[in-house]
Amino acid sequence: MKKALIIASVLAVLAGIYFGFFRKDPEVPKEDPAAQSEDEIKKRQEKIAAQVAEHTAQQMKMQQNVQRSAEDNQRTIRAIEEINRINRQNQQINQQNKR
């Protein structure tokens, strides 16, 4: 159980590093703000707000995927533990039958 949490944490950290450092964000052109009209400034602000919303949605989706992966890992670990328990019981039964 701890292994799955550790794996999920490592995946989350690696994903954060990837999206934080290695992903190249679009370059924002440097313009003179005084040379822009109010409409241009508003459009640009709306565009930036849309980009921020999209990025936030992507991060939330990624976090949900990490969470789902951690849950899947937990279910897999529990299933393996159950299989191991059944195998041990079968081995004991086989040993008793040999006697």
Quote the pTM value: 0.47
Range of the domain at 53: 2-23+39-98
Tens-place pLDDT, residues 82-99: 999 999 999 999 999 987
> Per the domain annotation, does 84 fall within a domain?
yes
Number of folded domains that form the chain: 1
The residue with tokens 């921020």 is 52
- Structural domain includes residue 66: yes
Considering only CA atoms, which of 78, 87, 74, 63 is closest in space to residue 6?
A: 74
32 within some domain:
no
> What pLDDT, in 10s, does the model give residues 18-58?
666 655 555 655 666 566 788 888 899 999 999 999 999 99
